[in-house]
Structure 1
Amino acid sequence: MAFLELQNIKKSYYLGKEEFPVLNGIDLSFDKGEFVSILGESGGGKSTLMNIIGGLDRNFEGIVEVNGDKLDHRQEKKLDVYRRETIGYIFQSFNLINYQTNLENVETSLNMTTLSAAERKDRAKALLTKVGLVEHLHKYPSQLSGGQKQRVAIARALASDPDIMIADEPTGALDSVNTTEVLELLKQIAEEGKLVIVVTHSQSVAEYGTRILHMADGKIDEEKYLKDKFLVPENTKRLTSRPLKSSSIWDMAFDHLKYKKLQNFLIILGSAIGVFSVIIFLGLGNGIKGYITNQVDALVNPNYQSVVRNTTKDKDASAAERMQATAQARATNYSSTTMNKAMLNRLDNVQGVDAVYAGGQFSNAVFTYGNVKSQPVQIQSWSPQFSKKTIKAGHQAKSGEVLIDQAYAKKIQSNYQALIGKTISFSYMAFDSSNRPVVIATSAKIAGMTDGGQSGAMFIQNWSTMQNDLKKNNAVTEANYAAVEIKDTKAVSATMKRINKLQSNGMQSFAGVSLTDILSTINTITSLASYVLAAIAGISLLVSAIMIIVTTYMSVSERTREIGVLRALGARSKDIRGLFTNEALLIGIISAVVGITIAYIGQILMNTALNGLIHFSIVQVSVGNVIFAVVISILIALIASFVPSRRAAKLNTIDALAAD
């Protein structure tokens, strides 16, 4: 029984409805150890017949049997296995992968076997040594002559230890010396027990084999035996095939990335700028939120919240609107804004409230030291609500003392700290029990200086001292605001809601806005702004996605023949898809790494530059920001490669091999 049998093989091409027969009932048999030359003019059907034997052409009539088993050309996966295990291809135009070394070209075929990495390398070196290229292992195909390239192609075809070696015009591009060397190699392959089938136009090449088949008009019109076939060794150990390794696909993708350095560098740079921009803007949002919180915490302890008496009957008014109404009522109906002991006790009994500190707030206070007067400012009593960080010099105001604003103190004299312990005069407006305005003119020792920060000037006095001044001038001494202590920071918002729900005579009793809620709103706005900026910056990522799409399409077009070679060697369509997808993913991953690196460098530079101005790290890139940017970068690369990689996987192998 012959090793390879063809029975009534017919093949036609169609132009519209018109049929053009190419093969007209071919019946042939081949044995191992034969060196068969198929001779004939162009258009006779030689290449079509080789494509059917090689498992590349699936649309034909007839039967192909290999070692007694029918080869089903309708099953693509079985054809992939058939090409990996049984067929070795030698092409006229060599079809070497230009971005791989000669050793790597041979190893590409071996990557579809179960050999270990070391075994694959050793076999590739042995095969290149066999074809006389031991000194050219690490050179690239572009550094070889035509004859040397063909020998690399022969070594690659032999690598997977195939039973059938198909050579399509293997000497067509070679001179006479290289032609003889290549034919000797093919003869040696046949002598080793393999079936060698050579397609040629040359009579002299054809006569080098054991049998000549002349083909014309899609038929074998002459068959000539030149010599006996070579003996086939028995019990020869064979290599075991397997699909192309995933690691090999990644290696090939990375090799091509390195080969196209400038082109891929520009794409990676564009993508990295997008990643950098997104991370920086998100980090800036984090920093701004942190800065706002830091500034607020420097002035006010978040565990203490201000509460005033409600003066509006509008049930739909928000807490902020009720607080504003109370502030306005102080100038017209001051007694309606004060809180007596019973009201303060009621506050103290609210769930979540740990303590209540009564106090007073008065506007239009004017301070005078010598000839230096302040602008009308607010003066209020001290409570634990104020952070001790607000005291920039001196100490907390005790009985008969006052804290003045640092900026005002500097206007008095440059050595402003020397004012501590000196007496300063000031006046402010209060009210008596009949709601008539009363001017409180008094003086106190300067305990120290405060920094109002972004909120402006602050003048703070001990509440008992303030009450004594009010009492001396027959003004109302009841508190017009209170600071409530809520030790559980997580319970601040809930506690303030309970305070705002308290009612008396059908209207809300108190008004207070949680500082936590205010910060939450500010942080939400800041986050939204940073997300918008990050989204705008993300446009550059979309541009890079378009660049990846264009580049991948170009890569598919440039590497069409490479795709055909890999399929001919037995690579699956999913391997081809993975090759281009992995290359795009590598671009995305490298872009992300470069972008992250630039972002951290940018963070250091920006924080260093602004530290002297605001004494705070305004850019705070979080791990979440980095992960988000990496995921986005990789997703964009993956999506961008989707269509081009699938186009590559669907290319017809025969058309791909014929591409320029």
Structure 2
Amino acid sequence: MLELKNIRKVYHVGDMDTIALDDISVAFREKEFVAILGTSGSGKTTCLNIIGGLDKYDSGDLVIKGKKTKDFKDIEWDSYRNNSVGFIFQSYNLIMHLSIVENVELGMTLSGVSKEQKHKRAIQVLEEVGLKDHLHKKPNQLSGGQMQRVAIARALANDPEILLCDEPTGALDTATSVQIMDLIKKVAGDRLVIMVTHNPELAEQYADRIIRFKDGNIIDDTNPHQERPKEDQFNLKKTAMRFKTAFGLSLNNLKTKKGRTFLTSFASSIGIIGIAVILSLSSGFKEQILQFQSDAMADMPIIITQSTQEIDEETMHKLANDRMAVVKGTAEFEDTDKVYLYDPSENTQIHTNVFTDEFMEYLESINPEICGSLGYTRLVNLNMVRNTDKGVVPVSIASASSNDNGMSSMMSSATMSLGLSSYPKQLADSSKSYLEKTYDVLAGEYPANDNEVVLVIDEKNRIPQNVMEALGFDTKDVETIDFDDIVGTEMKIIPNNEYYVKTDMGNYIPATDYQTMYDSKDAIDIKIAAVVRQKSNVTIGVLSTGIAYSDNLAGKIIELNEESDIVKAQEDSDVNVMTMQNFDDATAKSQFLGYLGGTSIPYMIMVYPETFENKDLVLDYLDTYNEDKDSDDAIVYTDMAGTMSNMTSGIMDAITIVLVAFAAISLVVSLIMICIITYTSVLERTKEIGVLRALGARKKDITRVFDAETFILGLFSGILGIVIAWLLTFPINSVLYNMTDLENVAKLRPEHAVLLVVISTILTVLGGHIPARMASKKDAVEALRSE
């Protein structure tokens, strides 16, 4: 046998599988084999002509089944190692956290063999190598000879064409070495076996052909091979590691380090815990606010008026910024002795809503299930008189403060009310009326017909003195009035033709013959049916203190007066027929006609959603009307409840974003920590990387193994963080209840929990992907040599 000294490297099949040796001999059994090729670190190929007859190939060529390996791609090398070559290493190179059956199955897993088939084949080859009684064990529970048998079984599992043995007996005693060589000799009966050994005696005893090297050249070949031209028969099945396999490898590895895995996951979950608690409190407080708003603003209507002031978005932002600057103390105050004049109308736009018959019909056709009632404010004067102890006297439903047009102020307001005199009409017949739902009867009964009215008082049973005086009650030296003296009070509404007289100057003034008015057969009798007060659980009402009546009564008055002399005169005149003054604009004339009962067009409409949740449906219904309308014909409404709700919701969202941003800093720390932990895992599993590459795993498969590990860590961290955050909501709610009497404020919403788990998983995978990529690029031989 010839000896080859001082060979620094021998290149095996594959572009990474190199073994540094000082003195080697090669023994193999003859089969279709052309040459052995490898790639050096410099990228140059080296061909060891261990078989003669290769003169027709260029230097550096390795031909496998007729295909030059210089044309191989990485994936083809991986497939070749997995399908055609089996490796038996001197140091076994078993994956210690897998059972011996799983070690043997690994190569077949990369080949895409089904779970049942690979398990059956693994048991079969383990039995063939004499490990039938050790199937349940892990490698660290076996002797050296038994571990080498596992390595042989793993190499044979895919039934490779070539078996490469690197000093298979180098770590074994003499008796065990003989057993292993006998086993290798047995498996060499139907495949090519190439063995590198320092023991010439083993080569002489077991090899069919021995090749010796010296100074990089073949110096002796006991059975030279004559190469024959072959057709390209190269056809390999591509290897691939499924994520499920990578997941299983990583899970088994993490199981061997339970303590470190838990501490890593807990540290990574701190950011998730912080964000989850913040979102729990934010959503809980927002829910509390929305519930309060729902209770407080359930009775707040959507208001549509004839004239609506619109402020453009840019101006709104400017006004808000100016106010905020004053609050912060950053506003710039003018240092001058001059007063600057400006026109506020330049920043606003007045939109006139035209209440056409089409719109009124559309509005009244709204679904009663989403809209409980509609309220109309009409400016019609009631022209009332009352028979008192002092005779028949004129009375009114409000304090008689008049504007320039002579109209009584119909919009006097009480605390927490919109200050209206007519209550909304119910759309659904089966439900309670607005008056019944919103006001309690303190004396008398709810109105049974349109001619019955109610007297509204505030929460302390108060009413302005001038209101009662306007109704004809004696308030001199009187502090209280009994309910019984109010309920049942009768009054009459007088038609315009009997209430107004035309003067010699051509204008109209109220008549003074009240008895004649009172005796008119056309007068409408009304009666105070009850004294009512806003219910304690209602935050906002619409009725001002004083007389309140139904919209149907207002309709009767308009029907009585729309053909009256004063109305016709006003329709034909451009000046006020009572004061003879010019109107400021057409709107002022229209309003005065409404005051006289000359038009049924309401001054203001109030739409009451059946519930706070149905408000958006009502708004959608109103928006639908505007879809095909020009801007001038569109109906602009005011959603006071929505505006207030959006303001508070926006504040809570801003606070939440700021707090989440601070808590997210810990996620960045977790990201860096996961990157370090994954890199540590790469260092710990370096030999496993070499084994997987030798078995045919692709670079992307190695990346997938470590991505799977970080996926498991991220998923577990997210779930652990969510569980801890959920448990923390109980003491947090207890503390908040003791401090604020608010119950169950902290609520972790399921969608937030799922989202945070997903975020935790994604961030962890991203943090570990760079070390995973580094692992995939490791040199396989260097990885196998690591400890």
Q: Which residue of 2 aligns with 1:529?
A: 655
Q: Does 1:555 align with 2:703?
A: no
Please state whether the residue corresponding to 1:97 is helix, strand or coil: coil
Q: Residues 8 and 21 of structure 2 are in contact (CA less than 8 Å); yes or no, is this contact kept in structure 1?
A: no
Please state whether the residue corresponding to 2:282 is helix, strand or coil: helix
Q: 1:590 to 1:145 in 2, by over 3 A?
A: same
Shift of 1:313: 13
Distance 2:725 2:463 in 1: 52
Distance 1:310 1:64 in 2: 92
Instruction: Report the TM-score when normalising by structure 1.
Output: 0.66
Q: Which residue of 2 aligns with 1:164?
A: 162
Q: Does 1:252 align with 2:249?
A: yes
Q: Residues 7 and 23 of structure 2 are in contact (CA less than 8 Å); yes or no, is this contact kept in structure 1?
A: no
Match of 2:147 among 128, 149, 169: 149
Q: Residues 686 and 786 of structure 2 are in contact (CA less than 8 Å); yes or no, is this contact kept in structure 1?
A: yes
Amino acid across the alignment from 2:765: L
Q: Does 1:283 align with 2:287?
A: no
Q: Residues 279 and 625 of structure 1 are in contact (CA less than 8 Å); yes or no, is this contact kept in structure 2?
A: yes
Distance 1:387 1:589 in 2: 57
Q: Does 1:298 align with 2:295?
A: yes
Higher mean alpha-carbon deviation, 554-563 vs 65-74, is at 65-74
Amino acid across the alignment from 2:291: N
Q: Residues 390 and 451 of structure 1 are in contact (CA less than 8 Å); yes or no, is this contact kept in structure 2?
A: no
Q: Which residue of 1 aligns with 2:16?
A: none
Q: Residues 114 and 241 of structure 1 are in contact (CA less than 8 Å); yes or no, is this contact kept in structure 2?
A: no
Shift of 1:404: 3.2
> Counterparts of 1:392-403 in structure 2 under 5 Å?
399=454, 402=457
Q: Which residue of 2 aligns with 1:655?
A: 782
Match of 1:43 among 9, 16, 22: 22
**Which segments of 5 or more consecutive residues in structure 2 lack a partner in the other structure?**
1-5, 13-18, 47-59, 225-234, 320-351, 365-373, 380-396, 400-413, 425-432, 447-453, 471-475, 484-530, 550-594, 596-602, 626-635
Distance 1:320 1:388 in 2: 44
Amino acid across the alignment from 1:485: V
Q: 1:393 to 1:543 in 2, by over 3 A?
A: farther
Shift of 1:205: 2.8
Amino acid across the alignment from 2:375: A
Amino acid across the alignment from 1:355: G
Q: Which residue of 1 aligns with 2:770?
A: 643
Q: Which residue of 2 aligns with 1:53?
A: 36
Shift of 1:101: 1.0
> Counterparts of 1:150-229 in structure 2 under 5 Å?
150-190=148-188, 192-210=189-207, 211-224=209-222
Please state whether the residue corresponding to 2:213 is helix, strand or coil: strand
Q: Which residue of 1 aligns with 2:265?
A: 268
Q: Does 1:64 align with 2:72?
A: no
Deviations along 1:535-588, one digit per CA (max 9) or x if unpaired, are: 322222222211211111111112122111111111111111111112112222
RMSD: 5.2
Q: Residues 113 and 241 of structure 1 are in contact (CA less than 8 Å); yes or no, is this contact kept in structure 2?
A: yes
Q: 1:74 to 1:441 in 2, by over 3 A?
A: farther
Q: Which residue of 2 aligns with 1:80?
A: 78
Rg bigger for which structure?
2
Shift of 1:429: 9.5
Distance 1:87 1:246 in 2: 24
Match of 1:356 among 348, 354, 376: 376
Q: Residues 88 and 164 of structure 1 are in contact (CA less than 8 Å); yes or no, is this contact kept in structure 2?
A: yes
Deviations along 1:192-228, one digit per CA (max 9) or x if unpaired, are: 32222221222333333223333332223344579xx
Distance 1:659 1:90 in 2: 17
Distance 2:464 2:115 in 1: 90
Amino acid across the alignment from 1:106: V
Distance 1:143 1:566 in 2: 22
Please state whether the residue corresponding to 1:356 is helix, strand or coil: strand
Q: Residues 678 and 772 of structure 2 are in contact (CA less than 8 Å); yes or no, is this contact kept in structure 1?
A: yes
Shift of 1:519: 0.6
Match of 1:569 among 695, 709, 712: 695
Shift of 1:361: 12
Distance 1:123 1:304 in 2: 77
Q: Residues 306 and 484 of structure 1 are in contact (CA less than 8 Å); yes or no, is this contact kept in structure 2?
A: yes
Higher mean alpha-carbon deviation, 591-600 vs 346-355, is at 346-355
Q: 1:54 to 1:133 in 2, by over 3 A?
A: farther
Q: 1:94 to 1:484 in 2, by over 3 A?
A: same
Q: Residues 25 and 210 of structure 2 are in contact (CA less than 8 Å); yes or no, is this contact kept in structure 1?
A: no
Higher mean alpha-carbon deviation, 298-307 vs 138-147, is at 298-307
Match of 1:95 among 84, 93, 96: 93
Of all paired residues, the percent bearing the same amino acid is 28
Amino acid across the alignment from 2:676: V
Distance 1:466 1:603 in 2: 49
Amino acid across the alignment from 1:112: L
Distance 1:217 1:251 in 2: 46
Please state whether the residue corresponding to 1:63 is helix, strand or coil: coil
Deviations along 1:580-614, one digit per CA (max 9) or x if unpaired, are: 11211222222233333444444566557767865
Q: Residues 185 and 206 of structure 2 are in contact (CA less than 8 Å); yes or no, is this contact kept in structure 1?
A: yes
Q: Which residue of 2 aligns with 1:625?
A: 752
Distance 1:387 1:267 in 2: 64
Q: Residues 128 and 152 of structure 1 are in contact (CA less than 8 Å); yes or no, is this contact kept in structure 2?
A: yes
Q: Residues 25 and 213 of structure 2 are in contact (CA less than 8 Å); yes or no, is this contact kept in structure 1?
A: yes
Shift of 1:85: 1.6
Distance 2:757 2:444 in 1: 50
Shift of 1:105: 0.6
Deviations along 1:477-499, one digit per CA (max 9) or x if unpaired, are: x9xx9883354723559979x9x
Amino acid across the alignment from 1:176: T
Q: 1:439 to 1:431 in 2, by over 3 A?
A: farther
Q: How many aligned positions are there?
A: 533
> Counterparts of 1:144-543 in structure 2 under 5 Å?
144-190=142-188, 192-210=189-207, 211-224=209-222, 242-301=239-298, 304-305=301-302, 354-356=374-376, 378=415, 380=417, 399=454, 402=457, 404=459, 442=480, 463-465=545-547, 484-487=606-609, 489-490=615-616, 492=619, 514-543=640-669
Q: Residues 428 and 439 of structure 1 are in contact (CA less than 8 Å); yes or no, is this contact kept in structure 2?
A: no
